[in-house]
Amino acid sequence: MKKEFCVVMTNTVSADEAEKMADVLLDEKLASCIQILPVSNVYKMNGKKNKSQEVLLMIKTRTDLFSELEAFIKSNCSYDIPQIIALPITYGSYEYLSWIDAETK
């Protein structure tokens, strides 16, 4: 298998926003699976330390779909600067990676 795969992580302000994004990502075949997790976030922005409760999406996809996925997140996330990080899947079972490939466009 020559295709490359990644996990894209992004955060949202609510479970509702996360679930709506996940539904579209699956329908548009930009992802094969999205894990949705509540998280506590501590971050610094504009020189000020902040704490918040957020929802993390861990999106399994092909690396060649990252640009389209990034554009979707930017257009559908409430944050001005959403976290959009792609972590490469360096190793994975053939069956699992084949499934990601089959479920994405």
39, pLDDT greater than 90: yes
Structural domains of the chain sorted by starting position, each given as residue range(s) with its CATH number in brackets: 5-103 (3.30.70.120)
Query: Please, are residues 105 and 64 in contact by the beta-carbon 8 Å criterion?
Result: no
Q: Which residues contact 8 (CB under 8 A, 6 or more apart)?
A: 31, 57, 58, 59, 61, 66, 69, 70, 73, 84, 85, 86, 87
Mean pLDDT of all residues in 26-37 = 98
Identify which of 4, 7, 8 has the alpha carbon closest to the alpha carbon of residue 84. Answer: 8
Question: Cβ–Cβ contacts within 10 Å for residue 91, how many?
Answer: 6
Q: What is the pLDDT of residue 2?
A: 74
Share of the chain above pLDDT 90, in %: 97
